[in-house]
């Protein structure tokens, strides 16, 4: 069994590194752009007076990075060739995302904004699978180029993971639909032209069927972005939205009527495994920096690295990183070859363990670095604040563990039928 990375992906990593050195680092270091990455980063990025949303200068810098990456053929790497991509595999993307996160903070890969020289683009996959030709024409290419922004309205004030109990409704009125309800943590609404709103159109609470997704222009009467929630990690783009008698045509339906949750679940496995890979990379960065510091720091006449109190926690983290890395790469490799539902539990394992790992590693890095580790002059507080949200969003770790339990005990997954027959 060969565990070495294929030469094709190692060559890709070398080319990515060369592109970062030649194009991205000079941009990051120009015109005081380092303010977005050093101790000033949270203030430099956030328009606190404007509601906590990203500053225009920060988003413009990200836009410049995206254009450079797109021109170089990296931005669309994971997308199909039909939209200018390179058909990057799940395995490739797991290795690349880990590699980029392992480099630490930088314009090449800033996960606060899900921004990277190698884009993820879950919405592009949704559009290609569920969008009408007209919707793909209107949104796909502009969205990839950053010329259009589409929000995502699933979570509600009283419903998060229990999306089948959502209270937002849409009813037919002639050839139109009238939508009423509210959304919380509605992403992207500070500059979105459209919001994908999920609403119940039939069925009863708890039914997976009967929820429909709609493209809703944000300038329609009755659509209100009330305020932005200030989060642990700033800037924010998580809005509270009120929808009152908003009327949209039947052509606004995204996917099939009543099958909106299928749209929401699209790309969930790829998203979670790439998120896990980023967690491993960021965790290893925190571990490596801590080891480097402990070797140089002298306390009581000896290097900090000679203290077992420093060694043992870092050994535990380093060991876990190695194990999670192996599981992430194996699962990503299987995603390229097996039906996704067959290994959905493995994706959940990767996701919740990697998210915990990076939070633990960032916390330990703060501790190892002492008072300096607690300052914003070090990157660890930023890494912790960013990755801490992933233990809640994209399916909380409790939801991920529940998925694993379902497969393990035969309540869900490929062994569910066998269990039913035995019963």
Average pLDDT over all residues of the chain: 94
Phi, psi (degrees; rounded to nearest 5) at 207: -75, 130
Find the range with the poorest average confidence among 30-44, 201-215, 228-242, 408-422. Answer: 408-422
Across 77-94, average pLDDT: 96
Residue 101's nearest CA partner among 90, 114, 87, 111 is 111
Cα 387 from Cα 360, distance rounded (Å): 10
In angstroms, the CA 63 to CA 61 distance is 5
Give the pLDDT confidence score for residue 27 in this predicted structure. Answer: 98
Instruction: Give the pLDDT of residue 1.
Output: 67
Confidence of residue 418 (pLDDT cuts 50, 70, 90): low
Lowest mean pLDDT among 21-25, 79-83, 264-268: 264-268
CA 239/CA 183 separation, integer angstroms: 8
User: What is the rounded distance in angstroms from the CA atom of residue 196 to the CA atom of residue 214?
Assistant: 5
Among residues 20, 31, 25, the alpha carbon closest in space to that of 58 is found at 31
Its pTM stands at 0.94
Q: How many CA atoms, within 13 angstroms, populate the side-chain half-sphere of residue 330?
A: 13
CB 189 within 8 A of CB 240: no
Q: Residue 324: which residues within 8 A CB-CB, separation 6 or more?
A: 276, 279, 280, 350, 353, 354, 357
User: Which of 264, 251, 250, 272 has its CA nearest to residue 129?
Assistant: 264
Q: Please say if the pLDDT value at position 47 is more than 60.
A: yes
What backbone phi and psi angles, to 5 degrees, belong to 234? Answer: -110, 150
**Residues in the chain, how many?**
423
The span from the CA of 252 to the CA of 18, in Å, is: 43
**What is the average pLDDT across 113-134?**
91
What is the percent of the chain with per-residue pLDDT over 70, rounded to a whole number?
A: 98
pLDDT per position as a tens digit, 305-341: 999 999 999 999 999 999 999 999 999 999 999 998 8
Tell me the sheet residues that pair with 183. Answer: 241
Please determine, for residue 111, whether its predicted confidence score (pLDDT) is greater than 80: no
- Taking only the tens place, the pLDDT of each residue in 251-302 is 999 999 999 999 988 878 889 999 999 999 999 999 999 999 999 999 999 9
> What is the rounded radius of gyration, in angstroms, for the C-alpha atoms of the chain?
22
pLDDT surpasses 90 at 415: no
> Per DSSP, which regions of 66-175 are E strands?
109-110, 115-116, 150-153, 169-173
Q: Is the peptide bond before 151 cis (omega within 30 degrees of 0)?
A: no
Q: Output the CA torsion 230→195→120→105 (10° steps).
A: -20
pLDDT band at 423 (very low <50, low <70, confident <90, very high): very low
What value, to the nearest 5°, has the Cα angle with vertex 201 and ends 198 and 207? 85
Pairing of β 176-187 and β 238-249: antiparallel
Residue 3 has pLDDT above 90, yes or no: no
Tokens in use for 9? 């992906």
Which of 63-102 are b and which e, b meaning 16 or more Cβ less than 10 Å from the residue's Cβ?
A: eebbebbbeeebbbbbbeeeeebbebbbbbbbbbbbbbbb
Q: What is the pLDDT of residue 417?
A: 61
pLDDT (mean) for 209-220 = 97
Percent of the chain with pLDDT over 90: 88
Average pLDDT (171-180) is 97
């Amino acid at each position: 069994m060969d565990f070495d990375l294929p030469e094709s992906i190692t060559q890709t990593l070398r080319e990515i590194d060369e592109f970062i050195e030649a194009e991205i680092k000079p941009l990051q270091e120009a015109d005081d752009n380092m303010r977005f990455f050093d101790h000033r980063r949270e203030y430099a990025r956030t328009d606190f007076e404007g509601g906590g949303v990203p500053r225009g200068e920060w988003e413009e810098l990200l836009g410049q990075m995206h254009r450079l990456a797109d021109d170089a053929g990296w931005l669309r790497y994971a997308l199909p060739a039909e939209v200018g991509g390179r058909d990057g595999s799940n395995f490739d993307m797991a290795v690349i995302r880990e590699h980029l996160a392992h480099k630490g903070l930088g314009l090449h890969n800033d996960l606060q904004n899900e921004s990277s020289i190698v884009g993820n683009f879950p919405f592009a996959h949704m559009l290609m699978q569920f969008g009408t030709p007209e919707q793909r024409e209107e949104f796909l290419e502009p969205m990839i180029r950053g010329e259009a922004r589409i929000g995502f309205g699933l979570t509600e004030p009283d419903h998060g993971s229990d999306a089948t109990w959502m209270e937002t409704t849409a009813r037919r009125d002639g050839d139109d639909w009238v939508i009423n309800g509210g959304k919380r943590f509605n992403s992207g609404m500070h500059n979105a032209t459209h919001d994908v709103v999920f609403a119940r159109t039939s069925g009863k609470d708890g039914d997976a069927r009967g929820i429909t997704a709609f493209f809703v222009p944000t300038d329609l009467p009755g659509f209100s972005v009330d305020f932005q929630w200030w989060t642990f990690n700033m800037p924010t783009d998580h809005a509270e939205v009120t929808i009152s008698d908003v009327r949209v045509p039947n052509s606004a339906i995204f996917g099939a009527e009543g099958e909106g949750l299928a749209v929401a679940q699209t790309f969930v496995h790829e998203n979670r495994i790439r998120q896990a890979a980023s967690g491993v990379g960021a965790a290893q960065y925190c571990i490596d920096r801590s080891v480097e510091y402990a070797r140089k720091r002298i306390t009581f006449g000896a290097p900090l690295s000679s203290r077992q109190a420093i060694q043992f926690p870092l050994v535990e983290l380093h060991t876990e990183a190695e194990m999670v890395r192996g599981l992430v790469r194996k699962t990503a490799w299987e995603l390229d070859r097996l039906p996704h539902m067959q290994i959905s539990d493995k994706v959940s394992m990767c996701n919740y363990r990697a998210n915990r790992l990076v939070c633990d590693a960032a916390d330990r890095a703060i501790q190892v670095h002492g008072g300096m580790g607690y300052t914003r002059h070090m990157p660890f507080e930023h890494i912790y604040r960013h990755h801490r949200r992933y233990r809640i969003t994209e399916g909380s770790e409790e939801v991920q563990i529940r998925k694993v339990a379902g497969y393990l005990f035969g309540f869900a997954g490929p062994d569910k039928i066998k269990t039913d027959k035995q019963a």
